[in-house]
């Protein structure tokens, strides 16, 4: 028997209160999410996520997803609007996951968001995340403390409200340095650090496109290297050996375009997912598309001819060094027609 259509229209209940989880998503690698955060994200009704949260991570959950980041070319939320959005969903009785890059309490404005929840009598919990400094440290082999070399570490910002601070710690880690790296290096030198002090700038830490710039304080002050966000600046004698040659750099970086048919072992590779819109009727506009930097990619797996077409719409050519693997003959022919023979 056919089920009768549900004609019940829910009436908003002013007494109903939702619950908010302020969650740290970690610095980029989706596997750096905590088990507790993953459980809550599975149970959430709404996920409000920031710029630095990886879209591959968000894509794993079924909740309604709302991007609250500040990308230039899309609608973005100011902090007040984010607070209003959190309150609106909580008042509607929803379980809200407020997902932030790194840890919510390290330059994450988590403190401001809980103030608003307190003032409005909304229940909340905080789930810590791996902050960018810890991610960068592990994925570049820079121990933030090192016996007999560094016994203290300070987390600082390159975008302070007033002046750049240089605490008296052996290792200094500066967040938000993309546009202020030279000012920070000058401030550190002015405080008496020697020109020979090792410095590392870690961009996109724990992501497939992790990139490291190294040098001494003196060299980098004189240089004019462009630094792209997100980037961390680490300064101290704890940066010892050739950190570009780290365990993470040895992993193969592969793009999975479409369904994951690859046999590639997760342990020896880093996967980057490309969503083929033609294969996904439920693809929603509030899922953010992050362009893939193909310069860092070693292999691409295509799972259907339509996915090859989608990929070609986004990227008209592929760097020669990339090895291409296709699921079947039809996909191979589509790839050859669009890419290998110079495209249509
Ligand atoms: C607004 S702060 C948020 C920090 C975040 N709450 C955390 O704990 O990592 C943004 C800054 O964090 C740093 N950052 C975040 N993710 C990063 C990554 N994957 N690689 C390098 N730096 C990162 C950058 O300095 C960036 O400008």
Instruction: Kindly report the CATH number assigned to the domain that includes residue 243.
Output: 3.30.950.10
Q: 150 with 220, same domain?
A: yes
- Indicate the residue among 191, 216, 247 that finishes a domain: 247
Please list every protein residue whose CB sits less than 6 Å from any atom of ligand 1.
Answer: 27-28, 52, 100-103, 106-108, 131-132, 136, 175-176, 202, 204-207, 229-232
User: pLDDT of 249-261, one tens digit each?
Assistant: 999 999 999 887 7
Q: How confident is the model at residue 288 (pLDDT cuts 50, 70, 90)?
A: low
- Indicate whether 225 pLDDT > 90: no
Same-domain pairing of 310 and 261: yes
How many beta carbons lie within 10 A of that of residue 224, not counting itself? Answer: 6
**Adjacent-strand bridge partners of 19:** 95, 123
Least confident span in 147-161, 225-239, 251-265, 278-292 = 278-292
Question: Are residue 237 and residue 201 in the same domain, yes or no?
Answer: yes
Whether residue 303 has pLDDT greater than 90:
yes
Is residue 285 within 8 Å of residue 66, measured between CB atoms? Answer: no
For ligand 1, the distance from its centroid to the CA atom of residue 95, given in whole angstroms, is 26
Q: Label residue 93 left, alpha or beta by phi (over 0 means left) and psi (-120 to 50 means alpha).
A: left
Q: Which domain holds residue 114?
A: 19-130
Q: Which has the closest alpha carbon to 114: 86, 93, 95?
A: 86
Which mutation among 29, 52, 99 tests ligand 1's pocket best, with the greatest number of atoms within 8 A of CB?
A: 52
Q: Select the more confidently predicted residue: 277 or 146.
A: 146
How far away, in angstroms, is 106 Cα from ligand 1 center? Answer: 9
Q: Check whether residue 108 and residue 140 sit in a common domain.
A: no
Q: Average pLDDT for residues 101-117, to the nearest whole number? A: 94
Question: What number does the ligand 1 atom closest to the CA of 177 have?
Answer: 25
For residue 35, what are the contacts with CB-CB under 8 A and spacing of at least 6? none
Q: What pLDDT, on the 0 to 100 scale, is given for residue 59?
A: 87
Nearest Cα residue to 136 out of 246, 30, 254, 23: 246
Which of residues 130, 153, 169 is at a domain's end? 130
Q: Is residue 289 annotated as a catalytic residue, yes or no? A: no
At 49 the pLDDT is 95
Distance 157 CA to ligand 1 centre (A): 10
Whether the predicted pLDDT of 4 surpasses 70:
no
pLDDT at 54: 85
Q: Is the pLDDT of residue 9 over 80?
A: no
Task: Answer whether residue 2 shows pLDDT above 50.
Answer: no
Which of these three, 247, 278, 294, is where a domain ends? 247
Residue 5, in any domain of the structure: no
Rounded to the nearest 5°, which phi and psi values hold at 235?
A: -130, 130
Q: 233 with 258, same domain?
A: no
- The dihedral built from the CA positions of residue 56, 58, 62 and 68, taken in this order, carries a sign that is negative
Residue 272 inside a domain? The answer is yes
b/e string for 58-68 if b means 16 or more Cβ within 10 A? Answer: beebebebebb
Domain annotation covers residue 191: yes
Domain count, the chain: 3
For ligand 1, atom 22, name the residue with the nearest CA.
Answer: 231
Q: Are residues 138 and 125 part of one domain?
A: no
Confidence of residue 296 (pLDDT cuts 50, 70, 90): very high
Alpha-carbon span 3 to 187, nearest angstrom: 70
């Amino acid at each position: 028997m056919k089920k009768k259509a549900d004609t019940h229209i829910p009436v908003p209940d002013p007494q109903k209160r939702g619950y908010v989880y302020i969650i740290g998503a970690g610095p980029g690698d989706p596997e750096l999410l905590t088990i507790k955060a993953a459980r809550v994200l599975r149970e959430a009704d709404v996920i409000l996520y920031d710029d630095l949260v990886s879209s591959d991570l968000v894509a794993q959950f079924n909740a309604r997803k709302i991007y609250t980041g500040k990308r230039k070319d899309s609608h973005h939320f100011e902090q007040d609007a984010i607070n209003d959005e959190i309150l609106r969903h909580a008042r509607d009785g929803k379980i809200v996951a407020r997902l932030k890059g790194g840890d919510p309490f390290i330059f994450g404005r988590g403190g401001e968001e809980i103030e608003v929840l307190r003032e409005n009598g909304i229940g909340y919990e905080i789930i810590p995340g791996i902050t960018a400094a810890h991610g960068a440290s592990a994925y570049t082999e820079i121990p933030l403390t090192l016996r007999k070399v560094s016994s203290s570490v300070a987390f600082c910002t390159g975008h302070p409200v007033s002046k750049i601070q240089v605490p008296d710690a052996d290792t200094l880690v500066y967040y938000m340095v993309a546009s202020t790296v030279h000012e920070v290096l000058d401030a550190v030198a002015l405080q008496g650090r020697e020109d020979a002090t090792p410095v590392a700038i870690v961009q996109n830490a724990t992501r497939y496109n992790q990139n490291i710039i190294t040098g001494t304080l003196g060299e980098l002050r004189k240089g004019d290297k462009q630094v792209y966000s997100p980037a961390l600046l680490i300064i101290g004698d704890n940066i010892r050996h050739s950190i570009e040659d780290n365990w993470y750099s040895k992993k193969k970086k592969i793009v999975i375009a479409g369904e994951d048919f690859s046999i590639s072992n997760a342990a020896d590779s880093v996967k980057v997912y490309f969503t083929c819109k033609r294969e996904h009727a439920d693809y929603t506009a509030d899922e953010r598309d992050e362009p893939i930097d193909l310069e860092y990619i070693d292999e691409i797996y295509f799972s259907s001819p339509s996915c090859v077409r989608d990929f070609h719409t986004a990227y008209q050519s592929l760097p020669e060094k990339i090895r291409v693997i296709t699921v079947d003959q039809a996909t191979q022919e589509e790839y050859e027609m669009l890419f290998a023979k110079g495209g249509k």
